[in-house]
């Protein structure tokens, strides 16, 4: 056998070895991906999800999004006892334990009520919960919300809740995102609940003491959206809030000076309230503030210059429309978009 033949044999042997190693890597990765994608959730959590599904009716008018559809349609009991709820749409499980840690049922056409006995509160490992854009029939947000100690993301927006926001929300110490905003347009079209000018809305109410407790205890909270939630505002020093939206409420009087304590704040939306105050020049000390929306309020007077000489270094959008300001916009806002229409 010549040297050329030996070299060819060696090359082929190496190639076969490489292919075998590649095959084993692919099989291992495939097995890992399969385990990662298809964990098995506990039977009690699967049962809780099915009970939650059965407590609602599917009604297309319960969601306003044009992309809405019933995600729970894929939730079915196991055939042969070997399926897992981790494959169901809107359900996310922990890769190792199989516990349900995420539930995304936004715009799922759900119609019905939620109470403290709802089976959803048995999913104690939840980290993210999205029930936005459904119709929960003016039920209250149950105090059992405290059963989710690991929750970081809670979205109940546009879902027709009513009553007082439970103080138990302040026990969710890991919460970083909280959205309770209500789309009032959907209520005006609701035949069972026609709104009038005299009616005491918004439907959700948050007491000032409860809001203070939220901000004080939820030190990880970054986004707080409370549009159309009847709320009074107080904020503590050291807050992690990056966004505050309290638009479309009935907030009156002066803007709370405690907002200056929100040193991480980037977006502040105060639109469509009844604030009656001079321009909050003291917000210029918020070094990260990028957007300040103040339209449709009773702010008035001349916009002055900060005494501390710290004038909104990161501000890029300022909406002053439909207030009672006088004079010109100061030169301290040279590179931003300003809406000052009357």
Q: Is the pLDDT of residue 212 over 70?
A: no
pLDDT at 219 over 90: no
Residues 6+ apart with CB under 8 A from 217: 170, 171, 173
Take residue 339 and report the two structure tokens written for it.
Answer: 């809406």
Encode pLDDT of 290-330 as tens digits: 999 999 999 999 887 766 667 888 999 999 999 999 888 77
> How is residue 328 written in tokens?
């010109």
Is residue 42 pLDDT above 80, yes or no?
A: yes
For 160-207, the pLDDT digits (tens) are: 888 888 889 889 999 999 998 875 555 555 555 554 443 444 567 766
Report whether the peptide linkage leading into residue 202 is cis, meaning its omega lies within 30 degrees of zero: yes
Question: Which of helix, strand or coil describes residue 103?
Answer: strand
**Strand boundaries in 47-176, DSSP class E:** 57-58, 91-93, 100-104, 110-111, 128-130, 153-155, 163-164
pLDDT at 130: 97
- Whole-angstrom Cα distance, residue 105 to residue 102? 10
Give me the torsion for CA of 160, 117, 215, 134, rounded to 10°.
-20
Cα–Cα nearest to 227, from 207, 251, 210, 209: 251
Q: 23-53 burial, b for 16+ CB within 10 Å, e for fewer? A: eeeeeeeeeeeeeeeebbbbeebbebbbebb
The mean pLDDT value of the chain amounts to 79
Which of 335 and 115 is assigned the larger pLDDT?
A: 115
Which one, of 283, 298, 296, lies nearest residue 253 by Cα?
298
Average pLDDT over residues 75-86: 72
pLDDT the model gives residue 335: 62
Mean pLDDT of 264-293: 91
């Amino acid at each position: 056998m010549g040297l050329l033949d030996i070299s060819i044999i060696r090359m082929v042997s190496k190639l076969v070895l490489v292919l075998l190693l590649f095959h084993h890597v692919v099989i291992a990765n495939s097995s890992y991906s399969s385990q990662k994608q298809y964990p098995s959730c506990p039977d009690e959590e699967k049962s809780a999800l099915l009970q939650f599904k059965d407590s609602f009716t599917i009604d297309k008018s319960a969601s306003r999004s044009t992309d809405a559809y019933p995600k729970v349609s894929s939730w079915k009991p196991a055939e042969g006892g070997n399926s897992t709820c981790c494959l169901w749409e809107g359900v996310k499980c922990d890769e190792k334990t199989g516990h349900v840690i995420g539930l995304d049922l936004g715009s799922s056409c759900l119609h019905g009520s939620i109470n403290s006995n709802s089976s959803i509160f048995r999913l104690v490992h939840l980290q993210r919960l999205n029930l936005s854009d459904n119709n929960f029939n003016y039920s209250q947000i149950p105090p059992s919300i405290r059963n989710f100690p690991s929750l970081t993301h809670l979205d109940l927006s546009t879902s027709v809740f009513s009553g007082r926001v439970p103080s138990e929300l302040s026990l969710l110490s890991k919460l970083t995102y909280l959205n309770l905003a209500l789309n009032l347009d959907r209520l005006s079209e609701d035949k069972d609940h026609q709104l009038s000018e005299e009616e005491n809305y918004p439907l959700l109410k948050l007491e000032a003491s409860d809001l203070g407790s939220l901000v004080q205890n939820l030190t990880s909270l970054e986004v707080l959206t409370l549009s159309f939630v009847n709320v009074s505002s107080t904020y503590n020093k050291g807050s992690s809030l990056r966004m505050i939206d309290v638009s479309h409420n009935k907030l009156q009087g002066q803007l709370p000076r405690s907002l200056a304590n929100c040193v991480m704040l980037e977006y502040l939306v105060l639109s469509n309230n009844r604030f009656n105050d001079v321009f909050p020049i003291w917000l210029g000390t918020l070094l990260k503030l990028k957007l300040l929306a103040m339209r449709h309020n009773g702010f008035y007077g001349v916009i002055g210059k900060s005494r501390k000489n710290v004038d909104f270094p990161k501000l890029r959008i300022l909406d002053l429309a439909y207030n009672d300001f006088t004079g010109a916009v100061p030169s301290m806002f040279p590179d931003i978009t300003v809406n000052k229409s009357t």
